[in-house]
Chain A
Amino acid sequence: MGLLTILKKMKQKEREMRLLMLGLDNAGKTTILKKFNGEDVSTISPTLGFNIKTLDHRGFKLNIWDVGGQKSLRSYWRNYFESTDGLVWVVDSADRLRLEDCKQELSALLLEERLAGATLLVFANKQDLPGALSKEAIREALALDEIKSHHWCIIGCSAVTGENLLTGVDWLLDDIAARIFTSD
């Protein structure tokens, strides 16, 4: 029995999922996580290192890892790849100047072998800003349609209003659950 089969069995028992939140710094990762968890979002500082939240949602135990996106921290991302079920890629939809950087980091990430089985949810965040690009524009800018290696979905949201956060997470859970808990 391979290691991942063992892990899979363990997970089946606990209905546990491991989600990794990544994206450039300032995209809104920590704000999304805290808003989803019902916490105050007005006091969030730029992330030094990482945050972990464990929360129960729809009978699943979610382990969510939020890792700092600063340039000097990106080399640490690899630390967190192991047994990731879902990757949440957060984009600041109003930050046109860094879309190219955003695209390159995402495509590099998707080549990582240890993330090969993970479902990808792209949050086009900050939709409350008047200058935000639409989720279709983000989809094009990140060339999401070229992704053949992962299940993916893009959702426009706002961490500040909470709009669509639930929709995104629910899609992600459904996709992962269909893969992990029912097959075999």
Chain B
Amino acid sequence: MDVMADVSHENTLAADSGAARVQERMQKRNQARIESVERRREAKESQSVAEENYEFFSSTFNREREGIEELLSGCSGADRATAAQNLEEATVRTAQLQKFLSDSTLFLKQYDLRKAQAALQTLQTSLTETREEALPKKKFAFRARTKGADRACAPAADTPPPSAVSPAEPGSTQTDGASEQCGFSNLSEQLLIKTSEEVQKRDVLLTHLTNCKVRLFGSPSTLHLKHIQGCEILCGPVSSSVFVDRCTDSTLAVPCQQLRTHNTTDTRVYLHVTSRAIIEDCRGVSFAPFSWSYPTLEEDFAVSGLDQTRNNWSQVDDFNWLAAGTPSPNWTVIPEEERRTSWDP
């Protein structure tokens, strides 16, 4: 692993104290940042809550957008200096508008957010077009810069960054990871089991499985599922994300920090998720709280670092569903009476 290779240089002493220094700097910086985050939070909280509503957002947003559009239309037929001034102001105000939108994402509905982003995109496009018309490119300082970059452009090896990133020295413990891959692939009609020792802290990959039962006892770092059909996959607590792609007619049970589900159909998920689950290009996905259990589950929860008391299994974001107010038709909650409560080994 690179990180290891980087510090396993000849001069261990220097490397160590370098690492310690970096650590110390990082800690200091983190402290300062936490403080400033807190200051900002306080400032925000004291702001009137009334501002945080859609009316305020949309009227401010639209007024500002119109102002920028006016600036842009003022460029046509104007002299170069005026156009340049208008464009400069429009650029700055567009960036501010983007910032305003970003700051408002907390209380905006997905649909309104998308709409505002689309409006901003249109604005950006007309900004670019107006600029190309009013100020032909050759005047840009940018050009000169690009040319300089062409000459000096070089792979990292030619312009070495600080010593810690020098190319790995020969003989260092370099794995390409291929032999390290943990999981199952290209199997059908089987019972597949991994023990705690096999999956602990590992990145586990399951691909091209058909009609299999998979049991992963233990706590992997991350879990990827791809091309899964008619399977029942039960897994212990995953400390970061579970990534699912092209899964059909299957049942999954897993605790994790994030669940990201893509191109998946007719699949039931018994989920414990401490942040959020998302679906994209999915239909017929249904959710219920995680209910699988095995003897060392508690210990594995501890290893994973997941908060066992925090389960957002029913808060699913559908990245394809724009309408505000109406729930996504692509996922449902499994009715209580239909939920699995017992699992065979």
Contacts and interface: CB of A to CB of B under 8 A. Distances in A.
B102 A166 contact: no
A163 interface: yes
B319 A166 contact: no
B325 interface: no
Interface string B25-53: 11001111110010000000000000000
A3 B3 contact: no
Contact of A76 (B117, B142, B174): B117
Nearest to A57: B29
B120 A79 contact: yes
B257 A149 contact: no
Contacts of B226: 97
A3 B274 contact: no
Interface of A: 1-8, 25-26, 37-39, 42-46, 48-52, 55, 57, 70-73, 76, 78-80, 82-83, 93-95, 97, 114, 116-117, 124, 126-137, 144-145, 147-158, 160-164, 166-168, 170-171, 174-175, 179, 183-184
Contact of A82 (B1, B124, B274): B124
A168 to B, nearest CB: 8
A114 B142 CA distance: 10
Contacts, number: 231
A134 B177 contact: yes
In the A-B complex, the 7 residue pairs with the smallest Cβ-Cβ separation, listed nearest first, are A38-B30, A156-B2, A45-B276, A171-B161, A38-B33, A153-B156, A5-B141
Contacts of B164: 164, 167
A164 B31 contact: no
Contacts of B307: 42
B262 to A, nearest CB: 8
Contact of A179 (B95, B149, B150, B181): B149
B139 A2 contact: yes
Given A26-B241, A157-B3, A45 B258 contact: yes
B221 interface: yes
A150 B156 contact: no
Contact of A127 (B2, B94, B168): B2
Instruction: Give the size range of B's interface with the partner.
Output: 35 or more
A73 B141 contact: no
A1 B201 contact: no
Contacts of B243: 26, 95
A118 to B, nearest CB: 9
Given A3-B135, A155-B165, A183-B148, 10 more contacts: A37-B37, A38-B37, A46-B278, A55-B33, A82-B94, A97-B245, A130-B203, A132-B177, A167-B165, A174-B161
Nearest to A165: B26
B154 A151 contact: yes
